[in-house]
Amino acid sequence: MKYQEKKYRVDSFTKIWRILEEAGAKKKSKVLSTHYYAQQEGNNIIKLVQYENKNEIHLLQESQGKYSLKEKIPVETTDAGLKRLKDEGYKAVEVVKMVNTDYEYKGGIVGLYLINNFLHSVILDFPEGHHETLEKEFGLETAEVISVPYNKYLEQIGKLQSIKLK
């Protein structure tokens, strides 16, 4: 079964936390990470993700505002990952810091993401065709859908930080 992520901007997580808690959703873990998005055209994503204990390059493919993870490539260090992106021809990366808590829910994942300490976002990671039902359940029908990568969204609202690869 093919899973896809769909992202929403919300004002707070309070309502969604309450629904998850009442349903007994299992909290997976809280993750702190820094994402270095390779600057490129289009909405497909190539990024280095720096976690507390590992680094990976993630390749995601976009289809109608939803994202599917195609590949994870482990790299030894953040510097090694940035070098790899540079060696692949990328000149700059856009930096996005995330704190997220994922919950197992009805065969998928509900992720609550705080982006760059100000942007509240919910990610529904479910099989194709399930997103609309969950939107209604969580009251996300009127929430802004973020149909571009977070780096491009931050750029649209004037809050993006980028660094040149050396």
> How confident is the prediction along the chain (166 residues), in pLDDT tens digits per residue?
688 999 999 999 999 999 999 999 999 989 999 999 998 888 899 999 999 999 999 999 998 888 999 999 999 999 999 999 999 999 999 999 999 999 999 999 999 999 999 999 999 999 988 999 999 999 999 999 999 999 999 999 999 999 999 8
Closest CA to 47 of 152, 159, 156: 152
pLDDT for residue 29: 85
Q: If you ran DSSP here, which 8-state letter would residue 25 be given?
A: P
Q: If you ran DSSP here, which 8-state letter would residue 128 be given?
A: T
Could you give the residue ranges of the DSSP H alpha helices within the chain?
14-23, 78-87, 131-138, 150-156
- Provide the 3-class DSSP secondary structure of residue 122: strand
Could you give the residue ranges of the DSSP H alpha helices within 43-116?
78-87
pLDDT for residue 166: 84
The token pair that represents 148 in the structure block: 């571009």
Length of the chain: 166
C-alpha to C-alpha distance for 111 and 155, rounded to whole angstroms: 22
Task: Using CA atoms of 29, 117, 115, 87 in order, give the dihedral in degrees to the nearest 10.
Answer: -100
pLDDT for residue 105: 96
pLDDT for residue 150: 95
In which residue are the tokens 């680094």 written?
55
pLDDT for residue 148: 92
The dihedral built from the CA positions of residue 29, 131, 145 and 41, taken in this order, carries a sign that is: positive
pLDDT for residue 23: 96
pLDDT for residue 17: 95
Q: If you ran DSSP here, which 8-state letter would residue 58 be given?
A: E
User: Over the stretch 31-46, which tens digit does the pLDDT of each residue have?
Assistant: 999 999 998 888 899 9
